[in-house]
């Protein structure tokens, strides 16, 4: 059963990832990315990381992808045009490098350095979320606080950068 679920999620994930990279229309790419993230959330569930599966759906499939779609629609992009010798060369080089890297990974994997199944279920006495929360507020308290500062910097940076250059007075657009 678990293997079947793994197969379904893995095939969905790889297929949707390929569509993200290969599709010419950015909106379609973004929608396929949502499906890929949901499949990844399923994989997290298989690995007994319920909290992360939830956060994956909420943060990635929800917040980040909505941001992507907003920007794509705001920019009103047409389908990508990628013709000509230069692009063909670049595409060939990209695929070649990727396949090379994949071959290296396969070589390492074939050495059998990661044997055995993931350990059989030993569910923690308290829930996954509670355990992660305790870890966050004890051993990882300092990184957790740094994360909040990072997010603050991100908010301020996004607002400052997204506002654009100051326009001369009199030509101000009305606030959205």
Helix (H, G, I), strand (E, B) or coil at 11: helix
- Find the binding residues for other proteins in span 70-89 (CB under 8 A): 71-72, 74-75, 77, 80, 82, 87
What phi, psi does 63 have (nearest 5°)? -70, -55
Pick the binder of other proteins from 8, 94, 127, 141 (CB under 8 A).
94
Pick the binder of other proteins from 126, 127, 140, 141 (CB under 8 A).
140
What is the sign of the dihedral through the CA atoms of 15, 5, 113 and 48? positive
Q: Is 145 in the site for other proteins (CB under 8 A)?
A: no
Q: Is 8 in the site for other proteins (CB under 8 A)?
A: no
CA-based R_g, the chain, Å:
22
Q: How far apart are CA 151 and CA 63, in angstroms?
A: 14
Q: Which is nearer to other proteins, 17 or 175 (CB)?
A: 17
Q: Is 126 in the site for other proteins (CB under 8 A)?
A: no
Q: Which is nearer to other proteins, 115 or 168 (CB)?
A: 115
Q: How far apart are CA 134 and CA 126, in angstroms?
A: 10
Q: Is 10 in the site for other proteins (CB under 8 A)?
A: yes
Contacts by residues 18-22 (CB-CB < 8 Å, ≥ 24 positions apart): none
CA dist list (Å): 97 to 64, 94, 100, 123: 29, 5, 5, 41
End-to-end, the C-alpha distance of the chain in Å comes to 51
Q: Is 171 in the site for other proteins (CB under 8 A)?
A: no
Q: Is 2 in the site for other proteins (CB under 8 A)?
A: yes
- Find the binding residues for other proteins in span 36-55 (CB under 8 A): 36-37, 40, 43-44, 46-49, 51-52, 55
Q: Is 175 in the site for other proteins (CB under 8 A)?
A: no
Pick the binder of other proteins from 119, 142, 172, 175 (CB under 8 A).
119
Length of the chain: 176
Tokens in use for 6? 């793994």
Q: Which is nearer to other proteins, 119 or 171 (CB)?
A: 119
Closest approach, Cβ 172 to other proteins, in A, equals 15
């Amino acid at each position: 059963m678990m293997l079947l679920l793994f197969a379904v999620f893995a095939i969905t994930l790889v297929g949707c990832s390929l569509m993200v990279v290969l599709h010419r229309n950015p909106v379609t790419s973004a929608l396929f990315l949502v499906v890929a993230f949901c499949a990844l959330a399923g994989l997290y569930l298989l690995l007994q990381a319920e909290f992360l599966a939830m956060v994956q759906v909420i943060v990635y499939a929800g917040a980040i992808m909505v941001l992507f779609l907003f920007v794509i629609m705001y920019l009103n992009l047409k389908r990508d045009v990628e013709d000509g010798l230069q692009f063909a060369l670049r595409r060939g080089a990209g695929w070649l490098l990727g396949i090379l890297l994949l071959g290296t990974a396969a070589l390492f994997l074939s050495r059998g350095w990661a044997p055995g199944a993931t350990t059989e279920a030993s569910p923690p006495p308290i829930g996954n979320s509670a355990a992660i929360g305790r870890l966050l507020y004890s051993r990882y308290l300092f990184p957790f606080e740094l994360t909040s500062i990072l997010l603050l910097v991100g908010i301020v940076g996004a607002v400052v950068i997204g506002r654009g250059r100051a326009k001369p007075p009199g030509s101000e657009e009305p606030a959205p």
